[in-house]
Structure 1
Amino acid sequence: MSKDGDILKLLGKHSTVSKIIKTKKSTTITKKIDTDNLNCLIKFDGWTIIGTHHFYKIPKNIPLDKSIYKLKIASFDLDGTIIKTKSGSRFSRNFKDWKWFNSNTLDILKNYQKNNYLIIIFTNQGGIIAKKEQKSFINFITKLNDILSYLENVFIYVSPKRPNYDKKKINHLISKQQDHDLYRKPNTGMWDELIKYLKENYKIENNNNINGNFEIDLENSFYCGDAAGRPQDFSDSDKVFAKNIGLPFYLPEEIFS
């Protein structure tokens, strides 16, 4: 059985207590259920799933000198912004159906990193349910891992679809509708998760910042996406998201030209 198949098999049944499971290749999977808010926390291979409303992947270490107190953030939507489909379809047909937005994209992203920008991806994925047994979920994770093989040290935050509630099966792992709404752009749940993580893990180590606190460099940071409310766009969610988090907004054609 494949590695993904092992994961699917291991997570086929949910537990009501914390559990550590090791695969044959020593991949550690942590399952923890918070019985207060009925959300399930699952960790595997660097990915973390919170309930059914959010999953993310962050670098093992924040790739910045700890003396930098003004953080520059280059944040992006995923589909139609950083990548497009090879097939020309609106949605990818499989995990191999992707290519960079254009020939400049990868070099420009790496150049931002060289200039001490944190690269963040915030993406709504309304066709994906964050469950291990879902083929669409495994395909999506495989595609993102492939992208990360070209571009390391990227923060990825994903807002998936809420599963249907099955009254015949008491599924206490399904997050509340409010949670799903909060994390879906243009709402700010994914951005709030990023700021929370940075506050907990990035402390300034120099004499100029006694409290060790960072600031977001709003003047030089930005959010880039393709949903800008133009006639050809499906919505204006990216443009409004940028406004809600207080960052300048750019189209992918402006960043990757």
Structure 2
Amino acid sequence: LSLASRLWDYIAVRKWPRTLQTTPAMTKRVASMDDWLLGGAKKDGTVVTTKSGRTFPTDEHDWRFFSDSVPQTLATVAAQNFRIVFFTNQRALFSGDDQSSIVQVFVSLGSLQYRKPCTGMWEHFEKYENGGISINRQCSFYVGDAAGRICSSLRGKKDHSAADRLFALNIGINFFTPEQYFLKQTHIENYILPSFSPSLSLDAKLCLFEPEYLFCHISSVFRCLFIGYAFSLLGFFP
């Protein structure tokens, strides 16, 4: 298990076994998914969930596949020359190794650029862990349970976040919920995303200040208050 760190952020990378032969065709299309069972730290389910029904597993044996179709679905995807990659946020996890893994697993152990919905884990995978092969994002997809879905008659409780849907959106690949991908659910559940869209703001031609003349006639010292989400690096302005 290799560990790379920047500032207070960490990413743990589980590589493919050396005996597994890969070809360029296997690395151009990526089937990426949320979560993996790591030392009993798995929380809730995209590929696996708990047998007990609890949010957190009671031990390393308290797990089951999200549905009976998961193994065959993953086998089908692998047969179609997709590379299967798991991206998961596990800030509390700092050690552990599973020699039986035959897929790539990227674990965000910190809270900055590697933590979903930030794209650090994907960028690290694409730059350093994919054999230098460019990825066809139009043919790649991400499956995750943090989809921003609201409480409804179909869903007893809302999703804990929208980080997985935003992760796919930030990367520019297709997104599916576990129900859509493994259970072939065709109904699109209602979901809520943050009202602020970085991509729209970057594309828009906006003034530096609103109104534009806000600071034009100020000659004395003034205080500027920056407001943003946690870990948005507001304190790093010069």
TM-score (norm 2): 0.63
Q: Which residue matches 1:48?
A: 2
Q: Which residue matches 1:82?
A: 47
Q: Which residue matches 2:80?
A: 115
Give ranges in structure 2 of 5+ residues lacking alignment.
Answer: 36-43, 151-157, 184-238
CA distance in structure 2 between the partners assigned to 1:97 and 1:234 by the alignment:
21
Please tell me the residue identity of whatever aligns with 2:162: D
Higher strand share: 1
Q: Which residue matches 1:192?
A: 123
Q: Cα 1:125–1:69, aligned 2, differ >3 Å: closer, same or farther? A: closer
Are the equivalent residues in 1 in contact too, given 2:126–2:134 (CA < 8 A)? no
CA distance in structure 1 between the partners assigned to 2:128 and 2:180 by the alignment:
29
3-state SS of the aligned residue for 1:182?
coil
Residues 8-28 of structure 1, C-alpha deviations (whole Å, 9 max, x = no match): xxxxxxxxxxxxxxxxxxxxx
Give ranges in structure 1 of 5+ residues lacking alignment.
Answer: 1-46, 131-136, 162-179, 203-213
CA distance in structure 2 between the partners assigned to 1:88 and 1:58 by the alignment:
31
3-state SS of the aligned residue for 1:226?
coil
Using the TM superposition, give the Cα deviation of residue 82 of structure 1 relative to its aligned residue in structure 2, in angstroms: 0.7
Question: Residues 1-257 of structure 1 correspond to what in structure 2 (within 5 A)?
Answer: 47-51=1-5, 53-61=10-18, 63-66=21-24, 68=25, 71-78=28-35, 79-126=44-91, 128-130=92-94, 137-138=95-96, 141=97, 145=98, 149=100, 153-161=102-110, 180-198=111-129, 201-202=131-132, 214-231=133-150, 232-257=158-183
Are the equivalent residues in 2 in contact too, given 1:185–1:238 (CA < 8 A)? yes
Please tell me the residue identity of whatever aligns with 1:95: E
Using the TM superposition, give the Cα deviation of residue 69 of structure 1 relative to its aligned residue in structure 2, in angstroms: 8.4
Q: Cα 1:218–1:93, aligned 2, differ >3 Å: closer, same or farther? A: same
Are the equivalent residues in 2 in contact too, given 1:71–1:217 (CA < 8 A)? yes
Are the equivalent residues in 1 in contact too, given 2:26–2:82 (CA < 8 A)? no
Are the equivalent residues in 2 in contact too, given 1:83–1:98 (CA < 8 A)? yes
CA distance in structure 1 between the partners assigned to 2:62 and 2:11 by the alignment:
23
CA distance in structure 2 between the partners assigned to 1:121 and 1:225 by the alignment:
10
* Root-mean-square deviation (Å): 2.2
CA distance in structure 2 between the partners assigned to 1:215 and 1:241 by the alignment:
19
Bigger radius of gyration among the two: 2
Please tell me the residue identity of whatever aligns with 1:157: F
3-state SS of the aligned residue for 1:219?
helix
Higher helix share: 1
3-state SS of the aligned residue for 1:81?
coil
3-state SS of the aligned residue for 1:54?
strand
Q: Cα 1:69–1:116, aligned 2, differ >3 Å: closer, same or farther? A: closer
3-state SS of the aligned residue for 2:28?
strand
TM-score (norm 1): 0.58
Please tell me the residue identity of whatever aligns with 1:153: I
Name the % identity.
35
Using the TM superposition, give the Cα deviation of residue 115 of structure 1 relative to its aligned residue in structure 2, in angstroms: 0.9
